[in-house]
């Protein structure tokens, strides 16, 4: 809330997604920004906020890649992330004082699970007490040829 107050975004229109799906960020769209201090300050504060707001991690990571050549589209996208934060003020990680501080981790691997591509998937999640704070799901880039040959599937 203090971040929104500092840049006078407390009464702005809210956004439902952290990134606008129609915006394609790159290093050449838009005009170059003359004053980069505001952008860098916002990115720094947003990076700190990603500790408890995992929903904005991808957006902030993407925006931090353009700090060296800032354009108006990048600043507009940062403003969109701030409008999303206004809409989702109550979200974030909640660590209950009633749950224990035990770390539990679960993982899963499924080799060749996709019937069409025969790609493998791996995933994991980590809990601190009852709160989920880390997870990942990945479809592997490489197809296992041995598995395909055993099942007589032609490439």
- Give, for 132, the enclosing helix (H) or strand (E): strand 131-139
Cβ atoms within 10 Å of 44's Cβ, excluding its own: 13
Cβ atoms within 10 Å of 72's Cβ, excluding its own: 12
The alpha carbon dihedral of 124, 128, 131, 133 has a sign of: negative
Overall average pLDDT of the 94-107 stretch: 82
Does 135 have pLDDT greater than 80? yes
> Could you state, in order of their start, the residue ranges of all structural domains in the chain?
2-87, 103-150
Query: Distance from CA of residue 72 to its chain's centroid?
Result: 22
> In this structure, what token pair is assigned to residue 10?
């407390």
Does 87 have pLDDT greater than 80? no
Q: Is 7 helix (H, G, I), strand (E, B) or coil?
A: coil
Tell the burial category of 107 from Cβ atoms under 10 Å away from its Cβ (0-12, 13-18, 19+).
exposed
- Cα–Cα distance for residue pair 78/33, rounded to 1 Å: 13
% of the chain at pLDDT higher than 90: 2
- Give, for 50, the enclosing helix (H) or strand (E): none
What's the pLDDT band for 115 if we cut at 50, 70, 90? low
pLDDT score recorded for residue 149 = 53
Backbone φ/ψ region at 46: left (φ over 0), alpha (ψ -120 to 50), beta: alpha
pLDDT score recorded for residue 121 = 80
């Amino acid at each position: 809330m203090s971040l929104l107050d500092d840049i006078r975004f407390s009464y702005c229109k809210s956004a439902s997604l952290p990134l606008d799906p129609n915006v394609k960020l790159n290093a050449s769209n838009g005009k170059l920004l003359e004053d980069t201090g505001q952008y860098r300050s916002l990115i720094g504060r947003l990076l700190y906020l990603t500790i408890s707001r995992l929903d904005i991690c991808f957006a902030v990571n993407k925006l931090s890649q353009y700090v060296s050549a800032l354009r108006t589209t990048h600043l507009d996208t940062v403003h969109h992330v701030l409008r999303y934060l206004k809409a989702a003020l109550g979200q974030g990680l909640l660590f209950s004082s009633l749950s224990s501080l035990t770390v539990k981790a679960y993982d899963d691997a499924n080799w060749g699970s996709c019937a069409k591509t025969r790609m493998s998937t791996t995933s994991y999640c980590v809990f601190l007490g009852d709160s989920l704070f880390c997870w990942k799901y990945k479809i592997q880039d490489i197809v296992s040829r041995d598995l395909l040959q055993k099942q007589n599937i032609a490439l």
